[in-house]
Amino acid sequence: MEFPREKLYTIDNIYDLPSGQRAELIDGHMYMMSPPSRIHQKLVNRLSQTITNYIDSRHGNCEVYPAPFAVFLNEDDRNYVEPDISIVCDSDRLDDRGCNGAPDWVIEITSPSDPQRDYGIKLFKYRAAGVREYWIVNPLARTVNVYDFDRDAGTNLYVFDDCIPVCIYEDLRIRISDLL
């Protein structure tokens, strides 16, 4: 007896979605995305602005891209994500479609509907793809998990009132509560 095969999707299926519908593709599995909350959008905006201001003040070469921004993690047609914030320091990875390969720093703001995707599936995929630093910002718990993949330093857990050190920038610290 043959078991039914699970349908696997490709990036073409992402681009075939109806206008306004967003999804991510991880190992051929499609994950539909719901509209973000107001606090989610506020955090994306303020974090993007803070990081951009820091980079600009130091005449840095990294660029900040808030979602929706396409990230093609692997050189295949089965992985496509839209991190809430992508910081890319290698301009060779960028083209008109988005980022080809891993951003240097990824920030995801969890949604109540599917936090396990950020804490599990994406954590593994980002690390395997070569992301240097990964933040998971949880507005409900008011916590931030910081993963320093560059130094293989594990994870640190912070609360919104902490001055959170940025791993890829030695002199940048962000207090999330100051952004709200």
Q: Which single residue is written with the structure tokens 């990230």?
A: 71
84/47 Cα distance (integer angstroms):
10
State residue 176's pLDDT score: 98
Query: What is this structure's pTM?
Result: 0.93
Q: How confident is the model at residue 118 (pLDDT cuts 50, 70, 90)?
A: confident
Segment 155-163 shows an average pLDDT of 95
Q: Which single residue is written with the structure tokens 């070469």?
A: 61
Burial 47-71 (b: 16+ CB within 10 A, else e): bbebbbebbeeeeeebbbbbbebbb
